[in-house]
Structure 1
C-alpha cells in the first residue's frame, strides 16, 4: 500500500503562507549595509575581510563583524523572494516528498500510515536499519535451514522470509499442531496455499521507476545548475537540502527490491486460507482437518491488545526492527524441527514404528507412507533430544551490528555532506543551517537507538525463568515487568522525538528557501564562532568561489557515495543462493 505524501502534510500550504506573511515585510539588505559600512557611516572599524581580519581601507571591506552587523543591518532576515523560494522548493524538496509515496506502508489504517511517514522522515537511520535487517534476515534463514531436505523446506523458507512484516506466533502449548504441519503429507497443500496468497509484490512498476528517475534526474540537474553558478542565491540554495534528503532514494530502491509482504489484510487472509486446510495427527492414527478439533492453529498472527507489542503488530516494514527477536524465535523453532525430521529421514526412519521405510519414488520424492503416524509419533519424529535454545536467536547480534553500521553510514554520509556544504560556505563554521542538519542527524540516531533499546527490553521482558528458589523467580518477574514498562516508555519517547525531528527538517528546509536563515546571526556562523569572533561575509572573492565549488562537489560525492554503498550492499546480499537440494521442490 502506498500513501500520498501530500496528504500527510495538510498544513504545508498554511505553513508556507505563514512564512510569506512573516518575511514579506522584512527589509534587511546586506548589500546596502555593506555600502554604508564602506562609506564610514559606522566608524573606521566597522568592516573586515573575508577572513575576519581588519582592513586598512574601508572601501576594501567585504564582510561585517557580527555585532556591527546587528547595529548596521538589524537582526531580521532579508526580504522574502517568492521566485527564489518556488524555484528552490520545487527543485530540491518537492521531488523527495513525492518519492515518499513509493515507500511500502500496508497498515490499512491512515493514522498508522501517517505515523509511519513521520517515523521514516524523523529517523532515516531506523528506516535504513529495518531495510538492511530484512535483507540480512533473508540470508540468515537460508543458512539456518541449510542441511534440511525434508519436504516443504523450500516453501517454509520462502513463507517465513515473506512474513517478516507479520507478528508471527506459534502455538506450542498444543504440541501436536506444529509437528503435524511439518510432517504430514496432507499439509503440503497448507504450504502451497500460503505461498500462493503471499505471491503479491510491492516492487518495480512504471510509476515507481518514473518517480525514482524523476528524483534522480532532478537531483543531477539541480546539482549541475548550482555548481555552474555558485553565487546564484547562495544563501537560499538547496544544495545541502538535496544531500540531506538523498537517503530516501536508496531506502526506496531497497524496499522495491525486497518487495515486502506488508499488506495487513492480505497477509492475514493468506494465513486464514491456509489454516482452513490444515491437518492434524490423532492418537489413533488417521489424519483429520485441524478445524474439526479446535480453532487453534500452529502458526497465527498476534492480535492481543498489548502495548508492549504494538509495533510488532503493525505490518509497515519500518517496524521490522521490533519483530526481529520474535520472528527469529519462530524461525529457530521451526527450523530445529525440520532438521530433526531430516536427520531421521536420512536414517530411513519412517514416522510410524509399524512400517518399514519405503524408498523414494522415481522423482526422488519421499513416499507419503513414510510421513504418516499417530500424534505421539509425529511429535517425537521432529523433536530433538537435545534441542538448541536461543534466548535472543542465533546470529541476531551480528545482523543488528551490520544493519546498524549500514544505516549510520547512509544517514551521516548524506547529512554529513549537507553539513559540510554549508559549513564551507563563507562565513565558514557552525551556523544555523549546519547546526540544524546536525540536530536532524543526531535526533535521527537517537530515535533509532531508543527504538532498538525498546525491542531489546521487550524481548527480555518475555523470557522464561525457572528456579527452585521462589525469591529468585520473583526477582526475575520484577525485572521483566520493569523491562516491559521501560520498553513501552522508550518506544513512545522515540516516536515523539521522531515526529519532532520530521517537523524540524521540514521547517529547516522552508527556512532555508525562504531566507529565514539569511540574517546576521546565521550568516556570521555566530553559533560556532561566538558573537565576538563571528562576521558576515557579504561579497565573495574568487578564492571563496573556488573553495565553495570544491566543497559542494565534495559534498555531492560524499552523499552519493554513502547512498551507493547502501545500494551495493542490498544488491549483493539480496536473493541469497538456495542449495539445489532444497530448491528442487
Structure 2
C-alpha cells in the first residue's frame, strides 16, 4: 500500500478499488450495499468511507479537461454571461462591480429589491388613484422612477413643495421631469439572446440528464448547477420589464435641468418667481451625502433600492399629502387665493386662476408644515411591502437552491455531502446577507431621521441627560448600520466566489473523492459509504429526484415572474 499511495492520491479509480475489494485484496471488511448495509465484499456495490480512504486514497479521480470544458461552457458560462444584463448605472466601476457581487452573492437581496420596487410603484399609484389635480399622473411616474436615487425634500422653505404642486407655472417642471425620466433599460437583441442562450442551455441540461448514461452524469452534471443559478433568469426578466431609471448621470442631469424651471411663491405678491433667482434650494432634489452611512443609498444600481425604501417612502408620503390636500380643496371649489372659484371652459379642468397665491396661501392650501413631518417616519404600509417582497425573495432563493439540494442529496450516495453542503451554505449566507442589509437600512434611516429632528422645537424641550442619551443611541445605530453593511458586502463577495468555485470543483471532478462521494457531512465518518456501482432502483430514484428538482426550480421561477406581472403596471390616475 505504501508504494501505491502517491498514485491513488493523484488519480483515484473507484471502479478499480471496488473490484479489488470484491476480490478480497483488503480483507473481508468494508463491503456495503447501496443503502449502507454491511454485505459480503464479493457482493459489494459500495464501500465504507474508511475502507475507501485506505483502498482508494483521499485524492480525486483524474481530471478530464474535455469533460470540464464542455460542462463549463454549456452549463455555467451562459449564466455568467447573463449577469451582464442586470441593470447597473453607477458612475463608479467599483460600485457596479459591488452590485454584481451583491446579486450573485445574495440572490435573496436581488429578488427582494426587484419585488420591492414593483410594490412601491403600485403603492404610489394607489395613493394617487382617487386624486383629481393637475400633474398627478406625472407625479406617479416620476416618484416611481426616483426609487433609484437618493431623493429628498427641502424643508428650509415650507413653501417650496406646495409651490411645486400648486402653481400652474410648475406644470412645465412635472412635464419636463417626466420626459427626462422616460428613457428605458429594456429588451435588446443582446438581452434577448442571453436569455434565450440560458434557457436553451437549461433545457439541454434537463434532456441530457434523462437521455445520457446516468452514471456518467452523477458527478459532473448541470442539473444542480442549472437549478442553483435559475434565480438569475426571473430577476433579469423582471428588471427588463420594470425598466429602472438607474443611470446616475441622466438622473443628475434631469434634476439639474428641470429644477432650473421651478417656480416658487413669494410672500409679497401672487406672482411667483424662479427658484433659481433666489438661492440654490429646490423642493425635490438628489442628496449625495458623503460618509460611509450613505454609500449604498448614493449608488443608483437598482439592487441598492433596498437602502432607499424608507427615505423614498417618507419623501413620497409628503408629496402625496400635498396633492391630496390640494385635490380636496379643489373638489370643494376652493381657490388658493382669496378670490372666487373660476370655472374653466372644460368642466373637468381646474383653471390656472384657482392655483395662484402667496407663499403662505399655497402652504395653507396644501396644509404643509415641515415641523409635522415627523409623523412620516417610515412611510405608510412600508412594512407590509417589505414583508411581501421578503417572502417572494426567500421563495425564489430557496425554491431554486432547494431544487439543487434535492437533486444532489438524493443522488447516491444519498445524504448531505460536499456539493449539497456548498449549496446549502450558499443559500443560507445569501439569506443572512439580505437580513443584515435590511437591518442596516432600518438603523440608517432611524439614525438619519432622528438626527434631523434633534434640533427641532420638540428636541429643545429635552434636558441635557436625555439629549446625551439620544446622541449615544444615534451613534450606536450609525456604527452598527455601517458595520452590518460592510460585513454583508464582504460576505457577498465571498459567497459569490464560493458558488463559482463550487461549480468549477463539480465540473473538474474535485468533489469526486472518498470524502465527498461518501456524504460524510450527513452520515459521519463511521457510517459514511461510497456508492460506486449503481443498481436499477438507484437510477429510478435519481430520475424521480431530478424530475422533482426541475419542477421545483422552474416552478419557483415561474411563480416569481407571474406574481410580479400581476403587480406591475398598475392603473394610473386620470390627468386633470
**Deviation at 1:143?**
1.6
**Deviation at 1:473?**
3.0
Please say if residues 9 and 60 of structure 2, whose CA atoms lie closer than 8 Å, have aligned partners that are also in contact: no
Comparing 92-101 with 144-153, greater Cα deviation is found at 144-153
**How far apart, CA to CA, are the structure 2 residues paired with 1:382 and 1:245?**
50
**How far apart, CA to CA, are the structure 2 residues paired with 1:42 and 1:67?**
12
Structure 1 residue aligned with 2:291: 306
Equivalent residues in 2 for 1:33-112, closer than 5 Å? 33-56=17-40, 58-112=41-95
**Deviation at 1:87?**
1.4
**How far apart, CA to CA, are the structure 1 residues paired with 2:346 and 2:127?**
29
Q: Deviations over 1:139-194 (max 9, x none)?
A: 11112223321111111111000111011011011112111111110100001111
Q: Deviations over 1:361-380 (max 9, x none)?
A: 22621111111111111111
The one of 540, 562, 565 equivalent to 1:571 is: 565
Q: Deviations over 1:57-115 (max 9, x none)?
A: x3321111000000000001001001111111112111100101111000032111111
Q: Does 1:402 align with 2:388?
A: yes
Please say if residues 84 and 233 of structure 1, whose CA atoms lie closer than 8 Å, have aligned partners that are also in contact: no
Cα RMSD, aligned residues only:
1.6
Q: Does 1:469 align with 2:434?
A: no
Q: Deviations over 1:225-263 (max 9, x none)?
A: 112122223111121011000000000011001000000
Comparing 320-329 with 45-54, greater Cα deviation is found at 45-54
Structure 1 stretches of 4+ moved >4 Å: 384-388
State TM-score, norm by structure 2.
0.95
Q: Does 1:236 align with 2:220?
A: yes
Q: Deviations over 1:383-421 (max 9, x none)?
A: 158879231110000000000000001000100111111
The one of 174, 178, 191 equivalent to 1:208 is: 191
Residue 78 of structure 1 aligns to a residue in which SS?
Answer: coil
Comparing 143-152 with 32-41, greater Cα deviation is found at 143-152
Please say if residues 242 and 568 of structure 2, whose CA atoms lie closer than 8 Å, have aligned partners that are also in contact: yes
Pick closer, same or farther for the CA change 1:469–1:287 going to 2, 3 Å: closer
Structure 2 residue aligned with 1:252: 236
For this pair of structures, how many residues does the alignment match? 558
**How far apart, CA to CA, are the structure 2 residues paired with 1:388 and 1:293?**
28
Equivalent residues in 2 for 1:118-517, closer than 5 Å? 118-229=101-212, 230-285=214-269, 286-353=271-338, 355-362=339-346, 364-383=348-367, 389-462=375-448, 463=450, 464=453, 466=458, 468-470=461-463, 471-517=465-511
Please say if residues 147 and 339 of structure 1, whose CA atoms lie closer than 8 Å, have aligned partners that are also in contact: no
**Deviation at 1:44?**
1.1
**How far apart, CA to CA, are the structure 1 residues paired with 2:374 and 2:481?**
27
Q: Does 1:549 align with 2:533?
A: no
Residue 530 of structure 2 aligns to a residue in which SS?
Answer: strand
**Deviation at 1:284?**
2.0
Q: Deviations over 1:438-477 (max 9, x none)?
A: 0000000000000000000011112236353312233222
Please say if residues 167 and 301 of structure 1, whose CA atoms lie closer than 8 Å, have aligned partners that are also in contact: yes
Q: Deviations over 1:39-71 (max 9, x none)?
A: 100001232111112223x33211110000000
Structure 1 unmatched runs, 5+: 1-22
**Deviation at 1:213?**
1.3
**How far apart, CA to CA, are the structure 2 residues paired with 1:237 and 1:429?**
18
Comparing 225-234 with 270-279, greater Cα deviation is found at 225-234
Structure 1 residue aligned with 2:3: none
Please say if residues 142 and 157 of structure 1, whose CA atoms lie closer than 8 Å, have aligned partners that are also in contact: yes
Comparing 170-179 with 246-255, greater Cα deviation is found at 170-179
**How far apart, CA to CA, are the structure 2 residues paired with 1:584 and 1:181?**
17
**How far apart, CA to CA, are the structure 2 residues paired with 1:24 and 1:256?**
51
Q: Deviations over 1:537-583 (max 9, x none)?
A: 001000000100110111000111111110001100000112xxx32
Please say if residues 147 and 312 of structure 2, whose CA atoms lie closer than 8 Å, have aligned partners that are also in contact: yes
Q: Deviations over 1:263-288 (max 9, x none)?
A: 00001111111101111111222111
Comparing 278-287 with 513-522, greater Cα deviation is found at 278-287
**How far apart, CA to CA, are the structure 1 residues paired with 2:390 and 2:276?**
43
Structure 2 residue aligned with 1:520: 514
Structure 1 residue aligned with 2:574: 583
Pick closer, same or farther for the CA change 1:39–1:135 going to 2, 3 Å: same
Structure 1 residue aligned with 2:4: none
**How far apart, CA to CA, are the structure 2 residues paired with 1:140 and 1:378?**
26
Please say if residues 336 and 388 of structure 1, whose CA atoms lie closer than 8 Å, have aligned partners that are also in contact: no
Q: Deviations over 1:23-46 (max 9, x none)?
A: 999311111111111110000123
Please say if residues 26 and 80 of structure 1, whose CA atoms lie closer than 8 Å, have aligned partners that are also in contact: no
Structure 2 residue aligned with 1:530: 524
**How far apart, CA to CA, are the structure 1 residues paired with 2:9 and 2:256?**
62
Structure 2 unmatched runs, 5+: 1-6
Pick closer, same or farther for the CA change 1:517–1:82 going to 2, 3 Å: same
Q: Deviations over 1:333-389 (max 9, x none)?
A: 110111111111112111111x21101222621111111111111111111588792
